[in-house]
Structures are given as C-alpha cells and as structure tokens.
Structure 1
C-alpha cells in the first residue's frame, strides 16, 4: 500500500510538472481566447539608412540609355542575391558620415532617411537631367542574426523592410520546445550605443514593443531552459558511464586472456 501511494504521488508530481512546463510554451497567453481583438499600431518605425548599408539603386526614364549609369547591378534590385562573376553584389555603400556619391548628383546625405524619402529626393534632383525619372531603392544587406535555441540558427538576409521579431524567428524555424519564450534577447547597435532588450513572446505586449520591428544588424538570442541542459548533461553522463564500463570490461578481458 505504501508503494502504491508513493507511485501515485510521483505520477501526480510528474503530471503537474508537465502542465507547468506547457504553460510556458504558447505565445500571447494574455490575449483573449474568444472574439476578435484589435489594437492600433503605434510602434511601426520605418527602416532608416545608416552607415555601412549597401543600397541598390535603379533609375529608369524616357531616355533609358543615359539613366543606366546609376544602375550598378539590376539583378540585385530584382532580388537575385547569388554572388557570381556575372552577378557581383555591387551597390552604393553608405560611408561613415552617412553619405553616398552618385553620378551627376554628387555627394548626397542619406543617413536617417527611409528608402522612400531618398527615392523622392533623388527623383526631384534627376528631373534636371531626365524626363520622368523613376527611381527604385533597396537596402540589400539588411540582415539579422538569429541563434540559440531555435531550429535553424543563421544569419538571415531580409527583403521586407518591415520585418518583425516573430517573422524573423519563423525564418529560423521557430523556437525549440525547450526555449525560454519569456526571455528572448534582442541586441541592437545604433548611434554608437549597444542596446540589450528582453522580450516576452508569451505576452501580447510584444506587439507594442519599440523593438518589435527589426533594424539592420539586429541580433536575436533565444536562451534554452534548464530542461535542455539537464537532458544534454544526462546524455553526457550516461555516455561517460557506458564508456567507463566498456573500458573496465576490456581491461578485465585482456587480463583473463593474457
């Protein structure tokens, strides 16, 4: 009877532990489970151009032959990022002072501008040289690093200038089951300062965070919980015991047949 009670208590403890662990997994736990939820978007900050950004600029007009002097590499503008001798990644690198140097226009300040603002500025300047110029601009080295307890840690190049934390994590295959969803670390360097921010994916407040929309060179680190360490540690210890046992057996056998 005592053994039955002991086993029963152990099963209850395991069940409660499992429930407690599961409660840490779902996203947006404080979001209403019924009906429709709405909230205004107040934290959507457009991506701005910064030093070391690489800009692909494409200009067309009614006299296209002369406008091609701006088009270092049309393939990169159209989304082909494969680096080959026939398709090098070439663009306008923003210098440390936040400027680029363009044909006809010369030096132009781009730091702090969105690609839309720069496009409008260039269009106005180019009307002096071309009839009805059309300008397209893209930041082609917009990338984020995602590492830690995710399915596919890697350095990801992003095409969408309004990519969110959750969208980026989806590119990395989402968090593993052992990841700490309440303690995702975002590292951002801007204006000579490195910011380290903790994000809680289990709360709907993540949507209002000023760090929900990513910027170039952001890093996202997903910390594993103790469960993963315990599992790996247990595996190492089991392997060590097995190897030790095999070594002892080998020594005994070698002495027997010596």
Structure 2
C-alpha cells in the first residue's frame, strides 16, 4: 500500500513540475519588437487621425491685433491676464462636429471638417478667415482624443491623450505596461472607421508591428490584452478552490488513516 501511495505522490509531483515548467514564459514571448530583417517604413503622415463626427475641438483664432479676433472667439480668455493656464484652457471655445461633419463658427457659419486631419482643418479655416482678418492664425486641438486599454495591463482604463500622435506602445505605457500574464503576440486594437468597427491584432514581439496601420492610434481606439493560458487556468482554479481544498483535506485524512 505504501508503495502505491509513494507512486501516487511521485506522479502528482511530476505533474505539478511539468505544469510549472509549461507556464514559464520564454524570452521570445516576452521581449518587445525583437530585431529581424524587417525594414521599417511606417510614416506617421500616412496614418494621421482624421476628424470624425462627435469629435470635440478647441479652436482659437489669433491675429496681430487681438481685437479683430473677438467675434471669432466668443469665450476666449486671451485678454484676461489674471486667470490660470488651466482655467484659460477650460474656457476656450469648443465645437462639436455634428453628424453631417460640420461645426458652426461665429461669422463663418458651417464649416465641413469631417475627414480632414487637424492640419488640413487649420488650413481650411485659416483660408476662410482671410476675408475678415489679415494673416489669421488658427489653433485646433482635439478635446476628446481618448483611447481605452483593457485586459492584462497594470492600470486598465480610458486615457485622454495630449496629442493625436500616439502609438500603441505609448498607450500601453500610460496603462502601466502589460502584466507578466499578458499575451504580447496577440494585442487586439478595435477601431471605428466610417461607423463600422474593425479589429486588428498586433504581435508586439515582432518588429514588423511598426509597419502596421494600427501602430499609430486613432481617437476612441480600444486596446485589449488577453491573458495567457496560465492565467486562464489560474482563474479556473480560483473558482474551484474551495472544492479542491475539501477534496485535498479528505485525501490527506484517508492517507493518514491507511498509513498508520
């Protein structure tokens, strides 16, 4: 009987060691952007985010004579010197792009911006302003350039980006990077294009990810990092912990009685 029990214990120990060995990650599955023969050809200019319906834009008009810009900046605080920078930014004029892709600017009326990059929108508004202002300046910023990072990262959540030039690696960095349990070879990026959801998967261990059109993010992108098999198995184990503990206690009791 003792020989049988020793055999059972030995077999169980081997099974545990094999499971632990299989759950260990290799360098190949952990290191980002491992060097290979890929030629990096990605240019940010090819994937600049375009203005979409429901985007919220801060638009400030400037000129050599600030007085002539007053009608175009109804909430402008540029002439108010006693406000903090944070308050100043909060009170600057904002415009929501409607479902038709337009905003309504003072004096200019409706201006169609959807589908344009930020720089293209600046140039379009500047050209229309030349009728009223000599050498006008236009500054446009996204107020709602938001990306969400979910799954196996240190700090999942939604993040407002200070600029539209943001990469998937930067977004993951804001979320505290992947945990040791995150699958780096299968990062999901969900994007809405012309009202339709698209899904792209990126392998962060491969250098050719830098050439993906999804390497640079667009507003409202969602990044999802799936858990590895070990984490999934641990989750299943956690759900059945009480049952396993009860069975283990029973087996220990039976073995103790038999081996006396």
Q: TM-score interval w.r.t. the shorter chain?
A: 0.7 to 0.9
Tell which deviates more after alignment, 151-160 or 22-31.
22-31
The aligned residue for residue 58 of structure 1 is 60
Partners of 1:71 and 1:16 lie apart in 2 by: 64
1:96-143, Cα deviation, whole Å (9 max, x unpaired): 111111111111110111111111122222122123211100111011
**Aligned residues between the structures:** 234
In structure 1, distance between residues paired with 2:102 and 2:193: 17
CA contact (8 A) 2:76 2:91 kept: no
Q: Retained in 2: the 8 A contact 1:143–1:158?
A: yes
Counterparts of residues 197-236 of structure 1 (less than 5 Å): 197-236=200-239
Match of 1:26 in 2: 31
Segments of structure 2 that go 5 or more residues without pairing to the other structure are: 1-5, 78-83, 250-260
Check 1:16–1:72 CA distance in 2 against 1; reply closer, same or farther (3 A cut). Answer: farther
Aligned partner of 2:147 among 134, 144, 149: 144
1:129 aligns to what?
A: 132
Verify the 8 A CA contact 1:53 1:141 in the aligned structure 2.
yes
The CA distance in 2 between the partners of 1:240 and 1:17, in whole Å, is 24
Residue 92 (structure 1) aligned with residue 95 (structure 2): yes
1:4-19 matches, cutoff 5 A:
13=18, 17=22
1:233 Cα deviation from its structure 2 partner: 3.2
Deviations 1:1-57 (A, max 9, x none): x99x9899779857863665443111123447xxxx973334641111111001100
What TM-score do you get using the length of structure 2 for normalisation?
0.76
Deviations 1:193-222 (A, max 9, x none): 211111111101100001111111111111
Number of the residue aligned with 1:112? 115
Q: 1:203 to 1:48 in 2, by over 3 A?
A: same
1:72 CA displacement: 5.6
Shift of 1:157: 0.7
2:169 is aligned with 1:154:
no
CA RMSD of the aligned region, Å?
A: 3.5
| Cα separation, 2, equivalents of 1:233 and 1:15 | 16
8 Å CA contact 1:147–1:220 kept in 2: the answer is: yes
Correspondence for 2:241 among 238, 242, 248 = 238
Question: Normalized against structure 1, the TM-score is what?
Answer: 0.77
